[in-house]
Amino acid sequence: MTGTGRGNGKTLLLGEHAVVYGMPAIAAGIRLGAVATAVRGDAFALRVGAHAGPELRAALEAAAGALGVGPHRVEVEASVPLGSGLGGSAAIGVAVARALLSAQGEAETPERVLTAAGAWEKVFHGNPSGVDAAAAYSGGCIYFTKAAGIEPLFVAVPLRLVVCLAGPPASTKEMVESVQRLGERRPDLLAKSLSGIESLVKNARLCIEAGDVRGLGQLMNYNQMLLSGMFLSTPEIERACAVARESGALGAKLTGAGGGGAVIALCEDTAPIEAALKSDGFSAFSTEIGASLQPGAEP
């Protein structure tokens, strides 16, 4: 029996990295994602577009192990760019978990999909907070903590975002480890940054629920300052944020692990900001974050 499944890409509106340390983060699904097809086979094999290899196979085995499922051949088509902070790896993990369950004719539950996607993520980065897998599973806009998991957020006014691939691709594992090393060298600095980010995220939740888009933009700018202070920004990220703000964005920041990857800009009208970023040589697209989605639906 053939099974198929989908996972969403995501942006982190605020709270990346702090979420690894138990603070809240706000994530939102985007239209780009991944679709997986699984068929039973003699051995585990996984292909993502043109990519295959031992790490992908190990991740497939980990996900299948968490579901108690035997060998399968799995093909994945990913529209979300990988290594860009848009949750590509988790989108694929969720798609693979769903495809494996569907190939058994089993109905999915959030617990089973998220456990399998968590096992998948651990292969790529040792200490995932789970926010990527949660957003890849739910779509929509969510408030997430490690302790309480997913809380769908009411989005009073649709959030218009330009997503800019500032690049280059970066490794989430390496960036999470760099924050850990910062904490070892400067525990005071890390603790202050994390508690600052926690306040920003809690206020951002109020802004999203009240439709205060300008306030949300300000909080995103402050979050970017704190992330820069944690050495997670790059000249390309700073330039993309500056171009976005100068052309009218209400706020701009890196999204995901940083060290490269993507920038998000919150806008009243996305067209001039997307155009300004493109004319500066960046690749960019626009997306809109609305109310929460049904699990697995296209954002």
Task: By CB under 6 A, name the binding residues for ligand PMV.
Answer: 16-17, 19-20, 85, 87, 128-129, 131-132, 172, 176, 256-257
Q: Compute CA 262 distance to the chain's CA centroid, rounded to the nearest angstrom.
A: 10
Smallest separation (angstroms) from ligand PMV to the CB of 121: 7
| Minimum distance of ligand PMV from residue 174's CB (angstroms) | 10
Length of the chain: 299
Minimum CB separation of residue 71 from ligand PMV in Å reads: 28
Query: C-beta of 224: minimal distance to ligand PMV in Å?
Result: 14
Closest CA to 63 of 111, 118, 15, 137: 118
Pick the closer one to ligand PMV by CB: 19 or 249.
19
Residue number of the CB closest to ligand PMV reads 256
d(CA 169, CA 40): 33
Closest distance to ligand PMV from the beta carbon of 200 (Å): 14
CA distance 4 to 14: 31
Inter-residue contact 34 to 93 (CB < 8 Å): no
**Is 71 or 168 the residue whose CB approaches ligand PMV more closely?**
168
CA distance 218 to 216: 5
Structure tokens at 203: 């206020």
Residue pair 143/153 in contact by the 8 Å Cβ criterion: yes
Residue among 19 and 201 whose Cβ is closer to ligand PMV: 19
Shortest distance (Å) from residue 23 CB to ligand PMV = 10
Pairing relationship of beta strands 72-78 and 25-40 according to DSSP bridges: antiparallel
- Residue closer to ligand PMV (CB basis): 85 or 295: 85
> With respect to ligand PMV, which residue has the nearer C-beta, 37 or 145?
145
Distance between CA atoms of residues 191 and 112, nearest Å: 34
Q: Which is nearer to ligand PMV, 73 or 173 (CB)?
A: 173
List, in order, residues 6 or more apart from 273 with CB less than 8 Å away. 162, 244, 247, 248, 249, 265, 267
CB of 92 to ligand PMV, least distance (A): 12
For ligand PMV, the closer of residues 3 and 259 by Cβ is 259
Question: DSSP readout, 207-271?
Answer: HHHHT-HHHHHHHHHHHHHHHHHTT---HHHHHHHHHHHHTT-SEEEEESS-SSSEEEEEESSHH
Token pair in block for residue 219:
């909080």
The residues, any chain, with a CB within 8 Å of residue 187's CB and separated by 6 or more, are: none
Question: Is there a contact between 20 and 179 (Cβ–Cβ < 8 Å)?
Answer: yes
Residue 53 CB-density burial (10 A; 0-12 exposed, 13-18 middle, 19+ buried): exposed
Rounded to a whole number of angstroms, the minimum distance from the CB of residue 259 to ligand PMV is 9
